[in-house]
A and B are shown apart, each in its own frame.
Chain A
Amino acid sequence: MNMVPNDLCACGSRLRALRCCQLDARTLGPASASRHLLPLVDEAIACHTRGAFAEAERLCLEVLELAPGQGGALAVLFQIRKAQGARPAAEALVRRLVALDPNNIWATQELALLLFGKGDLAEGEVHARNAVRTAPTDPQSHNLLGMILTEANRPQVGEFHYRKALELLGQRQPILLANLAWNLKNQGRMAEARALYEESVALAPTILQTLLGWARMEETDRDFARADALLDDAEKVAPGHPSILLHRAIVRGRAKDYDAALALLDQLEGMNQSGGLGTNELLEKGRLLDKMGRFDEAFAAFDAGKRKNVELSGAVYMAEHAAQLAGRLKAYFTAQRLRIVPRAKPVESGPRPIFILGFPRSGTTMVEQTLSAHPKVSAGDELTLVHDIANLMPRMLNSPLAYPEALADLWMGDQSEGLDNLRDHYLQRVRQMGVVEPGKSRFTDKMPLNETHMGLIALMFPDAPLIHVLRHPLDIVLSVYSNHLTHGFYCANQLETIARHYLLVMDLVEHYRREMALKYLAVRYEDIVDDQETHVKRILTFADLPFDRKCLRFHENKRYARTASYAQVTEKLYDASRYRYRQYLKHLKPVIPLLEPAIARLGYRIDG
């Protein structure tokens, strides 16, 4: 066999493309057909075990050239590529293993872990769930699902799986304890989280990740001294580790010691040979510089951070996908059609939702903190349920069509109560997630961009208040650009795609408002900053809630909101958060022509 390098697969496996990513699975013979290669596979495994990686690789490539579906060789080659950091190759290989044998629990777990590491939580969850299905008594399956759900902001379900993993393991495994602690921190259960961190560190005092997570927890709980002390401990474990510097910088930044924070980031940049700071570090640096009034440098850092993110994740705005969804939603949700669509019945008993809608970074967290400071209201935070229901809808309505077209099945005799079922599913999940605290009759759902699904929400909850938070579009674009967000079809990496997605979503909102009778209230973030009491009263009465002064002191709300906004909302309202774009006009210039009409329609101006 004459191997032409050009034939090699682009994934980096060093297999030929026809034996790798272009492999036609139908051409594979039965496993028994390659049994004569088993001695080679055994040898490869032996080489790999004793550290002769080059030889192991050579043997694997040889076997896979002849039998590209040979599981043992795939597994060894996967481990080699993974250890080399050749991520695309590792992913391609482990995917093949899973595709060839969906019951391969080890491969399934590896794939889920790899996707988790890459930030693809949605697909990671699919495989982690498969791992639980295949191996329900394997603690690692539950641990993985717990990790993914925690990061995917469903910490209550994540907590269930962490506890299951602990139970199956039959021992207090320190890393699992730290994972659970991080999960509880995300639920705002700081005391429980702290106890678990203490337990974990007592059992295994030298795990860097645990100390860093704990430090973040203390920082979130505003105990900056404790956070610093933990970072000192981490320093002893891994002297000079870059993550420690980053965490210290974050703690210093939250303690408003911007100079020190910035110095730490610069130090981090200096010691890092492989390409400078990462996305999060660069964005953090930008935000620090912004607070110090060094706007040009801040923007340069945002720019660099976003470029880094594109470089590493390859995430680009899914413009076509977004436009297609918007087009289909507009085609389905028309007044004429909706006149004959049955609505769900209002929720008769139990807690009822209040939807807080808005583009990421428009002030939805602040409005949620305000509302959830009310004695009758629990904060649901970013519930992914509306999105989940959109995905589940074809199954739940037994429809061959996708959302939104699947709603056509509501006209079937056996689906006429389909919306009630969807609504009940939503409420059941809310109960399961433990969103609603005892004694509260309402809860908020502030998933950003839920306004994309405002039509569906209004069909499921015809009496639920829809509170749409508006903010100056240039402030939104700037703020999204200065934070790491995956919402909105990955629009957040470029100013222009943020602006485009913003316009797409606002256009959808306008469409819904024209075509439907909605219980909709637009609230301006700037107005709340300007005249808090008037506007908070207005929101409360709109949501059928009596005024409560606690809502005006929402920054004292002990609840920790899990989003990028939390650091701001735990501070009192401050004027500087309005019209920040003015400091960045020249940087925002490319998107101003795009946004100008929307800015005017919303009643905002562009001031220099």
Chain B
Amino acid sequence: MAEAVATSASLGAAPIARTVDEWLAEAAAHEQAGRLEEAEAVVAQVIAAKPDYAPGLHQAAVLSHKRGRAPEAIARLEQALRLAPDVALFHRNICELYRGQKRLDEAFAHGRRAVELTPDDASANYNLGVIQYDRMEVDEAIRLARRALALEPGMAGAHFELAEALLLDGQFAEGWEEYEWRFSLPNSPQLLPHKDKPQWDGKPMPDGTLLLIGDQGFGDTIQFCRYVAEVAKLCPNIVMACSSEMWPVVKQQSGLAGHFDRWENVPAFEAYCPLSGLPRLFGTDLSNIPAPVPYVRADKARVAHWRARLGQLVPRGYRTIGITWAGRPTHGNDFNRSMRLETLAPLGALEDTALVSLQMGPAVAQVADWRAAAPLINLGAEIGDFADTMAILEVLDHVVAVDTSVVHLAGAMGRPVSVLLPFAPDWRWLRERTDSPWYPTLRLFRQSANGDWAGPVARVAAGLATRA
């Protein structure tokens, strides 16, 4: 392929006849070096000069994707596919792009085509599996992850995908084993700053110190710290490393000798274990999930403070319903689990009800647009830490929340929560059921189709209206 492309002098050099692939190589070099603007300048010239050259369009699409311009990436790749409909790589990549834009049907079609064209491509199988999970075709997701792993046994992403699908399906034993691959995922943070200590094997450790690590998010820490008391029966000396925000939760767990949020303060230890590794070590299965709620309790003085504060803010005789509608925006699945506040509008029609926002982070800005009949009190503005949140949860009559740490906290406290779940939820919420074996006081309200919050929100609102 040696077609010459005439380019303008704007590229910084006198017009020289170079081949398309040479130009693309230069763009790739820019891209590798992180000079995305320069890469784009070259690529844009190439596709302008050779709009029918599919590899050029593909490279341009990849660049658009890296520059965070999803619609442009999709348009470029769609054009490449019109020119070269049978290139598996194009299908594989556009599948991911569509998935990122929540265009699941298109993602699915291209993912399937990629696997048809290259049945032995582990990545194509893996990608399609991820989409099958999103489509809640869990058996297929498991089959495709296994197929990817048969082709490429060390593919961490496929192991993790398999873990999530198995756990979602309630197949815990194998699920926990596969779940251990989470620390091998690309971009996953290192659990420990050094690797000279063994991971705990779950056996009694009467001497020596065990370091538990609050890995993953706040929700995971809250969910799995229920095991701490059990661990303490095996290991009398436990310390815990976790972010300081979690201290009000973890320090309530019996058997902890200390908690730290900086590695340099962590005392010497003999073995470590991530909190999220404890269910595996304890052989947790659907039948024996420990749910000793409440295993987290609010501080009495704080409860008194927040009871008084809510007494000021909530009209007399109003029922209080806590709400959160968005998680941490950096969470990988945030676009699925979070909603816009206005989606909760049916709750705004509840009579004699005040909604109490526990929302934190940038989504708080949306409270300014709430003008429904039920007033919304932006209590998040006064929340300092999780000890405050716990005290407020103790006072509230009910909570309606998407899958965030508030759900875990309220669940661990044994408080009533209506949880709004996306169509393909996190594995811990299992399939179809309306209850959670992890948290007996939760009721789960699931989307019946991807992105359709209206259904579950209406069901929650109807339930609350009849109980009023």
Verify A520–B375 contact, CB threshold 8 A: yes
Q: CB-CB < 8 A to A599: which residues of B? A: none
Verify B313–A463 contact, CB threshold 8 A: yes
B81-119 interface code vs A (CB 8 A; 1 in, 0 out): 000000000000000000000000000000000000000
Verify A541–B317 contact, CB threshold 8 A: yes
**A239 lies within 8 A of chain B by Cβ:** no
Complex Cα distance, B154 from A291, in Å, reads 81
**B153 lies within 8 A of chain A by Cβ:** no
A459-490 interface code vs B (CB 8 A; 1 in, 0 out): 00011010000100000000000000000000
Verify A541–B315 contact, CB threshold 8 A: yes
Complex Cα distance, B254 from A167, in Å, reads 79
Verify B368–A514 contact, CB threshold 8 A: yes
Q: CB-CB < 8 A to A603: which residues of B? A: 371
Q: CB-CB < 8 A to B317: which residues of A? A: 541
Verify B312–A518 contact, CB threshold 8 A: no
Complex Cα distance, B367 from A514, in Å, reads 6
Complex Cα distance, B367 from A522, in Å, reads 12
Verify B371–A516 contact, CB threshold 8 A: no
- Identity of the chain B residue whose Cβ is nearest the Cβ of A461 in the assembled complex: B312
B365-399 interface code vs A (CB 8 A; 1 in, 0 out): 10111110101011111101000000000000000
| A interface residue count range (under 10 / 10 to 19 / 20 to 34 / 35 or more) | 20 to 34
**A335 lies within 8 A of chain B by Cβ:** yes
**B364 lies within 8 A of chain A by Cβ:** yes
Question: Provided the pairs A465-B315, A519-B312, A542-B315 are in contact, do residues A470 and B368 lie with their beta carbons within 8 angstroms?
Answer: no
Complex Cα distance, B371 from A335, in Å, reads 21
Question: Provided the pairs A463-B312, A518-B378 are in contact, do residues A541 and B371 lie with their beta carbons within 8 angstroms?
Answer: no
**A348 lies within 8 A of chain B by Cβ:** no
- Identity of the chain B residue whose Cβ is nearest the Cβ of A510 in the assembled complex: B368
Verify A346–B378 contact, CB threshold 8 A: no
**B262 lies within 8 A of chain A by Cβ:** no
Question: Provided the pairs A538-B373, A542-B375 are in contact, do residues A516 and B381 lie with their beta carbons within 8 angstroms?
Answer: yes
Verify A517–B378 contact, CB threshold 8 A: yes
**B285 lies within 8 A of chain A by Cβ:** no
**B316 lies within 8 A of chain A by Cβ:** yes
**A602 lies within 8 A of chain B by Cβ:** yes
Q: CB-CB < 8 A to B379: which residues of A? A: 517
In the complex, which of the residues B352, B368, B384 contacts A513, with contact meaning CB atoms closer than 8 Å?
B368
Question: Provided the pairs A544-B316, A601-B369 are in contact, do residues A515 and B381 lie with their beta carbons within 8 angstroms?
Answer: yes
Chain A interface mostly: mixed
Q: CB-CB < 8 A to B367: which residues of A? A: 513-514
In the complex, which of the residues B316, B318, B375, B381 contacts A335, with contact meaning CB atoms closer than 8 Å?
B381
A483-520 interface code vs B (CB 8 A; 1 in, 0 out): 00000000000000000000000000111011111111
Q: CB-CB < 8 A to A544: which residues of B? A: 315-316
In the complex, which of the residues B352, B371, B381 contacts A470, with contact meaning CB atoms closer than 8 Å?
B371
Q: CB-CB < 8 A to B381: which residues of A? A: 335, 338-339, 514-517
Q: CB-CB < 8 A to B371: which residues of A? A: 470, 522, 524, 602-603
Verify B352–A541 contact, CB threshold 8 A: yes
Verify B382–A519 contact, CB threshold 8 A: no
Verify B313–A519 contact, CB threshold 8 A: yes
Verify B352–A518 contact, CB threshold 8 A: no
Q: Nearest-CB distance from B465 to chain A (Å)?
A: 16
Complex Cα distance, B354 from A521, in Å, reads 10
Number of interface residues of B (CB under 8 A): 26
Q: CB-CB < 8 A to A339: which residues of B? A: 381-382, 384
**A250 lies within 8 A of chain B by Cβ:** no
Q: CB-CB < 8 A to A542: which residues of B? A: 315, 375
Verify B316–A519 contact, CB threshold 8 A: no
Verify B316–A517 contact, CB threshold 8 A: no
A530-553 interface code vs B (CB 8 A; 1 in, 0 out): 000000001001111000000000
Q: Nearest-CB distance from B74 to chain A (Å)?
A: 28
Verify B382–A517 contact, CB threshold 8 A: yes
Q: CB-CB < 8 A to B313: which residues of A? A: 462-463, 517-519
Complex Cα distance, B317 from A338, in Å, reads 28
In the complex, which of the residues B312, B314, B318, B378 contacts A514, with contact meaning CB atoms closer than 8 Å?
B378
Q: Find residues 225-284 in chain B having any chain A CB closer than 8 Å to their own CB.
A: none
Verify B364–A514 contact, CB threshold 8 A: yes
Q: Find residues 335-370 in chain B having any chain A CB closer than 8 Å to their own CB.
A: 352, 364-365, 367-370
Q: CB-CB < 8 A to B314: which residues of A? A: 519
Q: CB-CB < 8 A to B375: which residues of A? A: 519-521, 542
Q: CB-CB < 8 A to B382: which residues of A? A: 335, 338-339, 516-517
Q: CB-CB < 8 A to A511: which residues of B? A: 368
Q: CB-CB < 8 A to B377: which residues of A? A: 517-520
Q: CB-CB < 8 A to A463: which residues of B? A: 311-313
Complex Cα distance, B373 from A521, in Å, reads 8
- Identity of the chain A residue whose Cβ is nearest the Cβ of B308 in the assembled complex: A346
Complex Cα distance, B452 from A3, in Å, reads 85
Q: Find residues 571-608 in chain A having any chain B CB closer than 8 Å to their own CB.
A: 601-603
Complex Cα distance, B311 from A542, in Å, reads 13
Complex Cα distance, B312 from A510, in Å, reads 21
Q: Nearest-CB distance from B363 to chain A (Å)?
A: 11
Q: CB-CB < 8 A to A516: which residues of B? A: 378, 381-382
Q: CB-CB < 8 A to B369: which residues of A? A: 510, 601
Complex Cα distance, B215 from A514, in Å, reads 31
Q: Nearest-CB distance from A347 to chain B (Å)?
A: 11
- Identity of the chain B residue whose Cβ is nearest the Cβ of A520 in the assembled complex: B375
Between A and B, 13 residue pairs with Cβ closer than 8 Å are: A338-B382, A462-B313, A511-B368, A513-B370, A516-B381, A517-B309, A519-B315, A521-B375, A522-B370, A541-B352, A542-B375, A544-B316, A601-B369
Nearest 6 Cβ contacts at the A-B interface: A463-B312, A510-B368, A522-B371, A335-B381, A513-B368, A544-B316
Given contacts A518-B378, A519-B313, 6 further A-B contacts (CB under 8 A): A335-B382, A510-B368, A516-B378, A517-B378, A519-B315, A522-B371
